[in-house]
Amino acid sequence: QSVLTQPPSVSAAPGEKVTISCSGSSSNVENHFVSWYQQLPGTAPRLLIYEDNKRTSGIPERFSASKSATSATLVISGLQTGDEADYYCGTWDYSLSVVVFGGGTKLTVL
Amino acid sequence: QVQLQQEPGPGLVKPSQTLSVTCTVSGGSIRSGSWYWSWIRQRPGKGLEWIGYIYSSGTASYNPSLKTRVSISADTTKNQFSLRLTSVTAADTAMYFCARENRDSGIIWFDPWGQGTLVTVSS
C-alpha cells in the first residue's frame, strides 16, 4: 500500500486530455514539493515535473501539473499514443523520514 | 550531461545472501556539487521504493524499513556508487535503479536515472 494514492489506470483517446491525481497528507504532499515521472514500458522512469509544476528540459507544454492542499494533479493534453506509460508522483514524507511515491497510474491511449 | 550506467548485476541471488549493484556516473563527479546519489527499487508489477542515498561528502541515509540491511558506498576513483543489501529474501526481488537526487532546499526530485538492474532472489 503506497503512502501516496494514485488511480491504477486512466484512459482517453488521442488528442484528448487526461488527469492523474496523487493524494497524500499534510506530512507529505501538502508541505513538500511533488515531482512526477513517466515510465515507458521496459524503461527507467524519467522526470517530467519537479517543484509541483515545473517541466524539466525537453518536456512539452502538453504536460502540466498543479497542487492544492493534500492533492497533486498531472494533466496531459493532446494525448499521443507515445504517452502510453506508467506515471508516478513522489515527494518527501517528514513523519516517515523517507521519500514516498504513489503506486503509479497506467495511462492507456485508446 | 550527466549519465548513469548500471553495471551488469548478479541477476540471481540466493536467499540470505548479499545483493550488490553498482552505478557508474559519467559527465560529472559524484564528489562535487550538492547532488545526492540514490537507489530506488521497483518490485515486479509494483511502484517505486526509495532505498537511500549517498551524498558527495560521503554521508549516507537510508529508508528506515531497510536500514538494518542496506549500505550505500562510493568509489570516487571510479566515479561509482554501490548498493549492498544483506540477508535478502524473495521480497527483495526487484529492478534496482540508481538516480541522481536533488535535495536543494528540501526540493526533491530524481534525474537522470540508470537503466535498471534486475535482481531475482531465489534458491
Q: What is the pLDDT of residues A23-40, one digit of tens each?
A: 999 999 999 999 999 999
Residue B33, pLDDT above cutoff 80: no
Q: Please name which of A35, A98, A96 lies closest in space to residue B39, comparing C-alpha atoms.
A: A98
pLDDT-based confidence at residue B110 (cuts at 50, 70, 90):
very high
* Inter-chain residue contact A92 with B108, CB threshold 8 Å: yes
- Mean pLDDT, residues B89-107 taken together: 94
d(CA B65, CA B70) in angstroms, rounded, equals: 10
* Cell 527499487 sits on residue: B41
* Inter-chain residue contact A51 with B107, CB threshold 8 Å: yes
pLDDT for B97:
98
Contact B90, A16 (CB under 8 A): no
Residue B101, pLDDT above cutoff 90: yes
* Inter-chain residue contact A45 with B110, CB threshold 8 Å: yes
User: Cα A18 to chain center, whole Å?
Assistant: 11
* Inter-chain residue contact B48 with A98, CB threshold 8 Å: no
- Mean pLDDT, residues B50-69 taken together: 94
Bridge-based pairing of strands B109-113 and A54-55 is unpaired
pLDDT-based confidence at residue B100 (cuts at 50, 70, 90):
very high
pLDDT for A30:
96
**Contact residues on chain A for B118, CB-CB shorter than 8 A:** none
- pLDDT, chain B, mean: 94
Residue B32, pLDDT above cutoff 90: no
pLDDT for B1:
92
- Mean pLDDT, residues A15-19 taken together: 97
- Give residues 51 to 70 of A whose Cβ lies within 8 Å of B: 51, 56
pLDDT for A14:
97
* Inter-chain residue contact A44 with B115, CB threshold 8 Å: yes
> E strand or H helix at B20, and its extent?
strand B19-26
Distance from CA of B82 to the nearest CA of A (A): 18
The model's pLDDT over B72-97, given as tens digits with 9 standing for 90+, comes to 999 999 999 999 999 999 999 999 99
> E strand or H helix at A47, and its extent?
strand A46-50
